Amino acid sequence: MKILEGLIIISIILITIYIFDKSTSNDSNDAANIIIGISDRDSESCLQCKEGGEFYDRGCKICEQDNINFRIKNTENTPFISSWSKDSGMFYGDSQCEGEKIIPSINAEINKEYWTEIKYIDSKYTISIYDDKNFEKKQSTITNEMCSTPINLKFLRFSMNDGKPISNGGRLTGNIDNIQIFDYNNSKNNLNEFENKLHNVYNEDFTKCKTKDCNEWVLQNKDVFFIDTDAKKFHFDSYISGNNDYAHYELSEPLSEKEWMIRLVLSFDHIDEFPHGKGILGISPLERNLVFIFTSVVFVMIGRIFSIKHESLNINILIIIFSTILLYVSLAPLIYNDLIFQNESIEKIGIIVSLIILSLILISFSISRIYSRMKNNS
């Protein structure tokens, strides 16, 4: 019986460690990211994403707009993602087509330059990443064929996070530089112009800028989005700041619906990966559940099964203590509304419900065993 009691005590210790480690995770519902693209909406016109607006905690990405962009998230492998929208949220395509595609075989690294090209031709666009400023050594490329065409694209826009509470979503810091925008113009026939069809409508390397906004850019938060006048680059510092952080520059005219191209260089100074629910012990939520919850439940079930023929008061009290803690752990996602704000899978919800039922059964059975023992002794 001492061995069985020892197993249940170990289970109580394990589930207590689980609660402590989970309490130190303090994760955001979102990861740090940087979004670079061209839109028909400036960053200030979406009233719904202003503080107090219905979409504030989801950000300007949810506002209806025409848009073509790419973004980098600090999740596992820090992927590059191509996105577009037509009268929809920034990443969501339109009513017929999805908007996102992961750019293959590439991820963000520090101290490396990503010479990026967005080229649009007749309802499809290609994003290519190069190793060199001459745009010759291609690292990766992807093409999105759109079901409808984004129009009136005239706002070069950089965006970061949503208005979620300040929390640990990791961090991305870096720079954007050497921005060039080429647009189609039928009247141009100059051999010096790019591909004899496109002409340069915007060119910026920030060398002449004396202020954080260069007197041309609209900056929502000059502490995280600004022109570094010393480094002569556009600097970003992306983290879950509690704000909708953005910057934009308005072109004199919308880009052509026939053909256009944007080129720029992107680099990262620091990448702090999204913690993925890791706490002070540094293990993932899946590992935490397996090591502490699954193991503790197995130990308790062994103790319960092998002690069922014995009227041990100590074992029943220990099982009630463990089961009460397990019930709290299982109910916590409901108590703190985690399941409301997160897209939990049916499988995960099923596991939570199963643990709640198991906890109640163990508590009820152990109480009935104690009551039976007291009745027999009376």
Q: What is the block-wise mean pLDDT of the chain (378 residues), using blocks of 10 residues?
A: 89 94 71 91 72 67 86 83 90 88 91 96 94 94 93 93 70 95 69 65 95 94 93 93 84 94 96 78 84 94 88 90 94 62 64 92 92 79
Q: What is the pTM of this model?
A: 0.71
The domains of the chain are located at: 2-25+277-377, 33-272
Cβ atoms within 10 A of the Cβ of 183, count?
Answer: 23
* Pair 125, 68: CB distance under 8 Å: yes
Report yes or no: 11 and 297 within 8 Å, Cβ to Cβ.
yes
Rounded to a whole number of angstroms, the CA Rg of the chain reads 28
Q: In this predicted structure, what is the pLDDT of residue 163?
A: 61
The C-alpha atoms of residue 89 and residue 100 are separated, in whole angstroms, by 11
What is the identity of the amino acid at 8?
A: I
Are the C-beta atoms of 50 and 93 separated by less than 8 Å? no
Percent helix, percent strand, percent coil in the chain, to nearest 5: 30, 30, 40
Q: Are 246 and 32 in contact (CB under 8 A)?
A: no
Could you tell me the end-to-end alpha-carbon distance of the chain, in angstroms, rounded to an integer?
Answer: 24
State the fold for domain 33-272.
Jelly Rolls (2.60.120)
pLDDT value of position 189: 47
What pLDDT, on a 0 to 100 scale, did the predictor assign at position 148? Answer: 93
